[in-house]
Structure 1
Protein backbone atom coordinates (compact mmCIF):
# COMPACT_ATOMS: atom_id res chain seq x y z
CA UNK A 1 0.00 0.00 0.00
CA UNK A 2 1.30 3.44 -0.86
CA UNK A 3 1.63 5.45 2.29
CA UNK A 4 0.79 8.94 1.04
CA UNK A 5 -0.83 10.51 -1.98
CA UNK A 6 -1.49 14.19 -2.43
CA UNK A 7 -4.83 14.53 -4.16
CA UNK A 8 -5.77 18.17 -4.15
CA UNK A 9 -5.42 21.46 -2.32
CA UNK A 10 -4.41 20.50 1.19
CA UNK A 11 -5.78 16.94 0.87
CA UNK A 12 -3.61 13.91 1.48
CA UNK A 13 -4.56 10.23 1.56
CA UNK A 14 -2.25 8.14 3.69
CA UNK A 15 -2.16 4.93 5.67
CA UNK A 16 -4.13 5.25 8.88
CA UNK A 17 -2.38 4.66 12.20
CA UNK A 18 -3.68 3.87 15.69
CA UNK A 19 -3.26 7.59 16.46
CA UNK A 20 -6.11 8.26 13.99
CA UNK A 21 -8.58 6.08 15.90
CA UNK A 22 -10.54 8.81 17.71
CA UNK A 23 -10.85 11.01 14.62
CA UNK A 24 -11.97 8.11 12.41
CA UNK A 25 -14.53 6.89 14.95
CA UNK A 26 -15.90 10.41 15.38
CA UNK A 27 -16.24 11.09 11.65
CA UNK A 28 -17.84 7.66 11.08
CA UNK A 29 -20.35 8.39 13.87
CA UNK A 30 -21.20 11.79 12.33
CA UNK A 31 -21.49 10.32 8.82
CA UNK A 32 -23.72 7.49 9.99
CA UNK A 33 -25.92 9.91 11.94
CA UNK A 34 -26.22 12.25 8.94
CA UNK A 35 -27.39 9.62 6.46
CA UNK A 36 -29.52 7.67 8.96
CA UNK A 37 -31.26 10.81 10.21
CA UNK A 38 -32.98 11.10 6.83
CA UNK A 39 -34.70 7.79 7.55
CA UNK A 40 -35.24 8.01 11.30
CA UNK A 41 -35.08 11.71 12.27
CA UNK A 42 -35.31 11.31 16.05
CA UNK A 43 -32.97 8.36 16.58
CA UNK A 44 -29.81 9.15 18.59
CA UNK A 45 -27.31 7.98 15.97
CA UNK A 46 -24.62 10.31 17.29
CA UNK A 47 -25.07 9.40 20.96
CA UNK A 48 -22.02 8.45 23.05
CA UNK A 49 -22.99 4.76 22.85
CA UNK A 50 -22.92 4.93 19.04
CA UNK A 51 -19.50 6.57 19.11
CA UNK A 52 -18.27 3.86 21.49
CA UNK A 53 -19.46 1.16 19.07
CA UNK A 54 -17.74 2.87 16.13
CA UNK A 55 -14.56 3.34 18.17
CA UNK A 56 -14.46 -0.35 19.18
CA UNK A 57 -15.00 -1.45 15.58
CA UNK A 58 -12.27 0.83 14.21
CA UNK A 59 -9.93 -0.19 17.02
CA UNK A 60 -10.28 -3.81 15.84
CA UNK A 61 -9.66 -2.75 12.23
CA UNK A 62 -6.58 -0.70 13.08
CA UNK A 63 -5.12 -3.40 15.35
CA UNK A 64 -5.25 -6.02 12.58
CA UNK A 65 -3.52 -6.19 9.25
CA UNK A 66 -6.55 -4.61 7.59
CA UNK A 67 -5.39 -1.98 5.10
CA UNK A 68 -6.87 1.34 6.20
CA UNK A 69 -6.48 4.72 4.58
CA UNK A 70 -7.41 8.13 5.87
CA UNK A 71 -7.93 11.43 4.11
CA UNK A 72 -6.36 14.37 5.88
CA UNK A 73 -6.82 18.05 5.14
CA UNK A 74 -4.79 20.63 7.03
CA UNK A 75 -3.91 18.08 9.71
CA UNK A 76 -7.49 16.92 10.31
CA UNK A 77 -8.73 13.43 9.43
CA UNK A 78 -11.88 13.92 7.34
CA UNK A 79 -12.33 10.51 5.72
CA UNK A 80 -11.39 6.86 6.10
CA UNK A 81 -11.56 3.65 4.10
CA UNK A 82 -10.67 0.06 4.88
CA UNK A 83 -10.65 -3.02 2.70
CA UNK A 84 -9.69 -6.66 2.86
CA UNK A 85 -9.04 -9.51 0.48
CA UNK A 86 -11.93 -11.92 0.36
CA UNK A 87 -11.01 -15.31 1.78
CA UNK A 88 -11.37 -18.13 -0.70
CA UNK A 89 -13.94 -19.84 1.54
CA UNK A 90 -16.13 -16.75 1.89
CA UNK A 91 -19.44 -16.66 0.06
CA UNK A 92 -19.07 -15.43 -3.52
CA UNK A 93 -15.30 -14.97 -3.10
CA UNK A 94 -13.76 -15.35 -6.52
CA UNK A 95 -9.96 -15.42 -6.62
CA UNK A 96 -8.52 -11.92 -6.70
CA UNK A 97 -11.53 -10.35 -4.97
CA UNK A 98 -11.13 -7.48 -2.54
CA UNK A 99 -13.92 -6.09 -0.37
CA UNK A 100 -14.29 -2.39 0.33
CA UNK A 101 -15.33 -2.79 3.94
CA UNK A 102 -15.75 0.86 4.98
CA UNK A 103 -15.59 4.26 3.30
CA UNK A 104 -16.75 7.26 5.29
CA UNK A 105 -16.35 11.00 4.88
CA UNK A 106 -17.16 13.59 7.51
CA UNK A 107 -20.49 15.17 6.45
CA UNK A 108 -18.96 18.65 6.46
CA UNK A 109 -16.76 17.47 3.58
CA UNK A 110 -19.35 15.59 1.51
CA UNK A 111 -19.20 16.58 -2.15
CA UNK A 112 -15.65 17.98 -1.94
CA UNK A 113 -13.80 15.06 -3.56
CA UNK A 114 -12.65 13.37 -0.35
CA UNK A 115 -14.60 10.16 -1.03
CA UNK A 116 -13.37 10.08 -4.61
CA UNK A 117 -9.77 10.54 -3.42
CA UNK A 118 -10.11 7.65 -0.97
CA UNK A 119 -11.69 5.51 -3.69
CA UNK A 120 -8.85 6.30 -6.11
CA UNK A 121 -6.24 5.42 -3.49
CA UNK A 122 -8.02 2.12 -2.85
CA UNK A 123 -8.06 1.37 -6.60
CA UNK A 124 -4.31 1.93 -6.84
CA UNK A 125 -3.67 -0.32 -3.82
CA UNK A 126 -5.98 -3.05 -5.12
CA UNK A 127 -4.34 -3.13 -8.52
CA UNK A 128 -0.86 -3.09 -7.00
CA UNK A 129 -1.87 -6.11 -4.89
CA UNK A 130 -3.09 -7.94 -8.00
CA UNK A 131 -6.83 -7.88 -7.28
CA UNK A 132 -9.10 -8.19 -10.31
CA UNK A 133 -12.52 -7.62 -8.73
CA UNK A 134 -13.88 -5.48 -5.90
CA UNK A 135 -17.14 -5.91 -3.98
CA UNK A 136 -18.94 -3.90 -1.34
CA UNK A 137 -22.24 -3.89 0.46
CA UNK A 138 -24.17 -0.65 0.74
CA UNK A 139 -27.27 0.02 2.80
CA UNK A 140 -30.26 -0.20 0.50
CA UNK A 141 -31.77 3.05 1.77
CA UNK A 142 -28.51 5.02 1.58
CA UNK A 143 -29.22 6.58 -1.79
CA UNK A 144 -26.36 9.06 -1.45
CA UNK A 145 -23.80 6.24 -1.16
CA UNK A 146 -25.45 4.20 -3.90
CA UNK A 147 -25.31 7.20 -6.26
CA UNK A 148 -21.66 7.81 -5.32
CA UNK A 149 -20.60 4.23 -6.09
CA UNK A 150 -22.70 3.98 -9.26
CA UNK A 151 -21.02 7.15 -10.50
CA UNK A 152 -17.66 5.47 -10.00
CA UNK A 153 -18.64 2.44 -12.08
CA UNK A 154 -19.89 0.02 -9.41
CA UNK A 155 -22.87 -2.12 -10.48
CA UNK A 156 -25.24 -4.47 -8.66
CA UNK A 157 -23.73 -7.94 -8.44
CA UNK A 158 -25.72 -10.05 -10.94
CA UNK A 159 -25.06 -13.15 -8.81
CA UNK A 160 -26.43 -11.58 -5.62
CA UNK A 161 -29.90 -10.20 -6.18
CA UNK A 162 -31.30 -8.66 -2.99
CA UNK A 163 -34.31 -10.23 -1.33
CA UNK A 164 -37.46 -8.08 -1.21
CA UNK A 165 -36.77 -7.25 2.45
CA UNK A 166 -33.00 -6.81 2.03
CA UNK A 167 -31.21 -4.08 3.94
CA UNK A 168 -28.05 -4.20 1.81
CA UNK A 169 -27.18 -4.23 -1.87
CA UNK A 170 -24.00 -5.93 -3.08
CA UNK A 171 -22.09 -3.94 -5.71
CA UNK A 172 -19.19 -5.16 -7.83
CA UNK A 173 -16.41 -3.44 -9.75
CA UNK A 174 -14.27 -5.44 -12.21
CA UNK A 175 -10.78 -3.97 -11.82
CA UNK A 176 -9.10 -5.46 -14.88
CA UNK A 177 -11.36 -3.60 -17.32
CA UNK A 178 -12.09 -0.57 -15.12
CA UNK A 179 -11.81 2.84 -16.73
CA UNK A 180 -12.24 5.60 -14.16
CA UNK A 181 -14.94 8.18 -14.85
CA UNK A 182 -13.75 11.55 -16.09
CA UNK A 183 -12.12 13.58 -13.36
CA UNK A 184 -10.73 10.66 -11.41
Structure 2
Protein backbone atom coordinates (compact mmCIF):
# COMPACT_ATOMS: atom_id res chain seq x y z
CA UNK A 1 0.00 0.00 0.00
CA UNK A 2 1.27 3.47 -0.92
CA UNK A 3 0.20 6.39 1.28
CA UNK A 4 1.42 9.77 2.41
CA UNK A 5 3.66 9.74 5.47
CA UNK A 6 2.51 11.23 8.76
CA UNK A 7 4.44 12.47 11.78
CA UNK A 8 3.98 9.00 13.31
CA UNK A 9 6.19 7.61 10.50
CA UNK A 10 9.18 9.87 11.22
CA UNK A 11 11.27 7.29 13.11
CA UNK A 12 10.66 4.59 10.48
CA UNK A 13 11.36 7.00 7.62
CA UNK A 14 14.63 8.29 9.06
CA UNK A 15 15.81 4.77 9.96
CA UNK A 16 15.02 3.48 6.46
CA UNK A 17 16.78 6.47 4.90
CA UNK A 18 19.92 5.86 6.98
CA UNK A 19 19.94 2.12 6.21
CA UNK A 20 19.47 2.63 2.48
CA UNK A 21 22.11 5.36 2.20
CA UNK A 22 24.65 3.20 4.01
CA UNK A 23 24.28 0.52 1.33
CA UNK A 24 25.56 2.77 -1.44
CA UNK A 25 27.78 5.28 0.38
CA UNK A 26 29.72 2.76 2.53
CA UNK A 27 33.21 2.41 1.16
CA UNK A 28 32.87 5.54 -0.98
CA UNK A 29 32.34 8.33 1.56
CA UNK A 30 33.41 8.79 5.17
CA UNK A 31 30.78 7.32 7.50
CA UNK A 32 30.25 10.72 9.12
CA UNK A 33 28.95 11.99 5.76
CA UNK A 34 25.97 9.63 5.80
CA UNK A 35 25.65 8.11 9.28
CA UNK A 36 27.34 10.39 11.80
CA UNK A 37 25.30 12.06 14.54
CA UNK A 38 25.30 15.46 12.81
CA UNK A 39 24.15 13.94 9.53
CA UNK A 40 21.45 11.86 11.23
CA UNK A 41 20.14 14.98 13.03
CA UNK A 42 20.16 16.96 9.74
CA UNK A 43 18.35 14.11 8.02
CA UNK A 44 15.69 13.92 10.74
CA UNK A 45 15.08 17.66 10.46
CA UNK A 46 14.77 17.40 6.69
CA UNK A 47 12.34 14.48 6.86
CA UNK A 48 10.26 16.29 9.48
CA UNK A 49 9.84 19.24 7.13
CA UNK A 50 9.08 17.05 4.12
CA UNK A 51 6.46 15.06 6.02
CA UNK A 52 4.90 18.28 7.31
CA UNK A 53 4.66 19.57 3.70
CA UNK A 54 2.93 16.36 2.59
CA UNK A 55 5.84 15.55 0.28
CA UNK A 56 6.66 12.00 1.42
CA UNK A 57 5.12 8.76 0.22
CA UNK A 58 5.44 5.52 2.18
CA UNK A 59 5.13 1.99 0.87
CA UNK A 60 3.86 -0.43 3.49
CA UNK A 61 4.42 -4.17 3.47
CA UNK A 62 3.20 -6.36 6.28
CA UNK A 63 2.32 -3.26 8.34
CA UNK A 64 5.82 -1.75 8.17
CA UNK A 65 7.33 1.06 6.12
CA UNK A 66 9.29 -0.74 3.39
CA UNK A 67 10.01 2.20 1.12
CA UNK A 68 9.86 5.97 0.95
CA UNK A 69 9.84 8.63 -1.75
CA UNK A 70 10.00 12.39 -1.45
CA UNK A 71 9.56 14.97 -4.17
CA UNK A 72 8.88 18.64 -4.65
CA UNK A 73 9.51 21.57 -6.87
CA UNK A 74 13.00 23.05 -7.02
CA UNK A 75 13.63 26.13 -9.12
CA UNK A 76 10.42 25.48 -11.05
CA UNK A 77 11.26 21.84 -11.84
CA UNK A 78 9.82 18.72 -10.21
CA UNK A 79 12.60 17.01 -8.29
CA UNK A 80 12.56 13.45 -6.96
CA UNK A 81 14.77 14.03 -3.94
CA UNK A 82 14.55 10.57 -2.34
CA UNK A 83 13.43 7.08 -3.29
CA UNK A 84 14.62 4.37 -0.93
CA UNK A 85 13.58 0.81 -0.23
CA UNK A 86 14.79 -1.07 2.80
CA UNK A 87 17.29 -3.69 1.55
CA UNK A 88 15.18 -6.50 3.05
CA UNK A 89 12.47 -5.57 0.53
CA UNK A 90 14.56 -5.08 -2.61
CA UNK A 91 13.30 -6.81 -5.77
CA UNK A 92 9.71 -7.04 -4.48
CA UNK A 93 8.22 -4.19 -6.54
CA UNK A 94 8.27 -1.63 -3.73
CA UNK A 95 10.45 0.87 -5.60
CA UNK A 96 8.42 0.49 -8.78
CA UNK A 97 5.17 1.07 -6.87
CA UNK A 98 6.59 4.20 -5.25
CA UNK A 99 7.89 5.45 -8.58
CA UNK A 100 4.52 4.87 -10.24
CA UNK A 101 2.76 6.77 -7.43
CA UNK A 102 5.14 9.71 -7.91
CA UNK A 103 4.62 9.76 -11.68
CA UNK A 104 0.84 9.60 -11.29
CA UNK A 105 0.89 12.52 -8.83
CA UNK A 106 3.10 14.53 -11.18
CA UNK A 107 0.91 13.81 -14.18
CA UNK A 108 -2.22 14.80 -12.23
CA UNK A 109 -0.50 18.09 -11.41
CA UNK A 110 0.42 18.68 -15.07
CA UNK A 111 4.15 18.09 -14.60
CA UNK A 112 5.89 17.20 -17.87
CA UNK A 113 9.49 16.81 -16.69
CA UNK A 114 11.15 15.63 -13.49
CA UNK A 115 14.80 15.39 -12.44
CA UNK A 116 16.76 13.51 -9.81
CA UNK A 117 20.32 13.02 -8.68
CA UNK A 118 21.79 9.56 -8.11
CA UNK A 119 25.19 8.78 -6.56
CA UNK A 120 27.49 7.88 -9.44
CA UNK A 121 28.71 4.74 -7.65
CA UNK A 122 25.14 3.47 -7.10
CA UNK A 123 24.81 1.33 -10.21
CA UNK A 124 21.82 -0.59 -8.81
CA UNK A 125 19.79 2.63 -8.53
CA UNK A 126 20.97 3.83 -11.93
CA UNK A 127 19.72 0.60 -13.51
CA UNK A 128 16.38 0.99 -11.70
CA UNK A 129 15.91 4.55 -12.95
CA UNK A 130 16.93 3.64 -16.51
CA UNK A 131 14.29 0.87 -16.49
CA UNK A 132 11.74 3.51 -15.42
CA UNK A 133 12.64 5.74 -18.38
CA UNK A 134 15.08 8.20 -16.76
CA UNK A 135 18.01 9.36 -18.91
CA UNK A 136 21.03 11.62 -18.32
CA UNK A 137 20.08 15.28 -18.23
CA UNK A 138 21.35 16.75 -21.51
CA UNK A 139 21.88 20.21 -20.01
CA UNK A 140 23.53 19.33 -16.70
CA UNK A 141 24.48 15.63 -16.47
CA UNK A 142 26.49 15.91 -13.21
CA UNK A 143 26.15 17.53 -9.81
CA UNK A 144 29.27 16.84 -7.77
CA UNK A 145 29.53 13.06 -7.28
CA UNK A 146 25.96 12.51 -8.50
CA UNK A 147 24.53 11.97 -11.96
CA UNK A 148 21.54 14.11 -12.91
CA UNK A 149 18.75 12.20 -14.63
CA UNK A 150 15.64 13.53 -16.36
CA UNK A 151 12.26 11.94 -16.99
CA UNK A 152 9.84 13.23 -19.60
CA UNK A 153 6.29 12.40 -18.64
CA UNK A 154 3.46 11.56 -20.98
CA UNK A 155 0.33 13.60 -20.37
CA UNK A 156 -2.14 12.00 -17.97
CA UNK A 157 -4.65 9.80 -19.79
CA UNK A 158 -8.16 11.17 -19.57
TM-score bracket, shorter-length normalisation: 0.7 to 0.9
TM-score (norm 1): 0.76
Distance 1:82 1:124 in 2: 14
Corresponding residue of 2:132? 152
CA contact (8 A) 2:110 2:155 kept: no
**Aligned partner of 1:59 among 43, 48, 56:** 48
Distance 1:153 1:38 in 2: 29
Corresponding residue of 2:102? 122
CA contact (8 A) 1:66 1:82 kept: no
Q: Structure 1: state its 5+ residue gaps.
A: 1-11, 89-96, 179-184
Q: CA deviation at 1:58?
A: 0.5
Distance 1:161 1:35, change over 3 A: closer
CA contact (8 A) 2:4 2:54 kept: no
User: Does residue 150 of structure 2 align to residue 172 of structure 1?
Assistant: yes
Mapping 1:35-54, distance limit 5 Å: 35-39=24-28, 43=31, 45-46=34-35, 48-54=37-43
User: Does residue 7 of structure 2 align to residue 18 of structure 1?
Assistant: yes
Distance 2:85 2:152 in 1: 24
Distance 2:148 2:28 in 1: 20
1:117-173: per-residue Cα shift (whole Å, max 9, x none)? 10000011010111011111111121111111011110001111337xx31111001
Q: CA deviation at 1:81?
A: 0.5
User: Does residue 75 of structure 2 align to residue 75 of structure 1?
Assistant: no
Q: After the TM superposition, which parts of structure 1 deviate over 6 Å for at least 4 consecutive aligned residues?
A: none
**Greater radius of gyration (CA):** 1
